[in-house]
Amino acid sequence: MFASTSQRNDDGLRASYNISIAKSGKPHTIGEKLIFPAIEEVLKTVLHKPASDIIKRIPLSNNTVERRIDEISSDIESFLCNYLQTTHFSIQLDESTLPDNAALLLAYVRFIMNQEIYEELLFARTLITDTKDFESRLEDILTMVIPPWIINPYGDIEETNVIIQEELTEISTNGELKVQFKKGYQQFWLQNNIPVTYPDYFIEKAIPLSNIISVATDGAPAMVGRYRGFISYLKQNVSGVLAIHCVIHRQHLVAKNLSVRLHESLHLVIDAVNRIRSNALNTRLFTQLCEENDEHFHQLLLHTEVRWLSKGLCLTRFFALFETIFEFLEY
């Protein structure tokens, strides 16, 4: 009887691990709010079995799911680090910024195992700003000479020319005229922190830096800087490492060499799409027109300047709805 009870508890524990809440990207509370009610309904309606005895053996509370994810990730990381201690691999680094403006360093590794190529996320760590670096940087900022035209933009204008002063004030208030400064401090402390964060992890996990045969970065100055960049640091510690500037998508390469005619045509498409999508009324009217014309798609894809890759999908959807777009813009 005790063996049977233990087996049932083990089955419930195994089910708790196998339910992939983290892979689906759902909140941890979905286990109690959705999965348990669904299991209970299936057991009662289809199998005609009491659900309470089965459900109570499957731990899926919010805190339990969090611990399961931590345990699984720790086990995967341990296995990966142990394997990287004895094999050569390539690494790719990407410095990204979270919505709360925190800097995040991502490291991916690619290696061969059982004659197959694998790619895994090695770590993701937040880069912490060092206040000592800020103090030294602040001294440089305070010693900078500020041009007079920044302090008083109207200093070179005659006092009698009131019209020009009023026009400058208006466009400055509307945001059309702005004084922009280079954001050099973020690059400064990233160049100091990335070379420190990266080897600390490898020392902690006992992974020899000599196992790295190549490295690819996102091309940011903090990565490829000649003196303080990560590539410079790595070459000083790993001789013969192959450094790749960045992995560039073929769509981005095409964008660099567009002819004048294609460039103008592309911007006409973007202007048309943004004209429809940027206005709520235009979007609703365009959707209604697509439904009346029995189109397969009812929405255009909004283009963004952040990534050139969005142009491919934007152009494809624009071509599919070309006749409807032409009809809509005629009114």
Q: How high is the pLDDT of residue 95?
A: 75
Backbone angles phi, psi at 206, to 5 degrees: 60, 40
**Type of residue at 292:** E
Full DSSP string of 244-295: ES----HHHHHHHT--HHHHHHHHHHHHHHHHHHTSHHHHHHHHHHHHHTT-
Q: How high is the pLDDT of residue 83?
A: 94
Q: How high is the pLDDT of residue 309?
A: 46
Model pTM score: 0.54
Domains and CATH numbers, the chain: 2-71 (no CATH), 78-129+186-248 (3.30.420), 136-184 (no CATH), 252-330 (no CATH)
Q: What pLDDT digit, counting tens, does each position of 173-228 carry? A: 544 444 444 444 444 444 455 555 566 788 888 888 889 898 887 655 545 444 45
If one counts every other C-beta atom within 10 angstroms of the C-beta of residue 104, the result is 13
Q: How high is the pLDDT of residue 92?
A: 86
- Counted residue by residue, the chain has a size of 331
Give me the residues of the chain with pLDDT under 50, please. 1-3, 130-136, 174-191, 222, 224-227, 306-309
Q: How high is the pLDDT of residue 134?
A: 46
Distance CA(162)–CA(152), nearest Å, equals 15
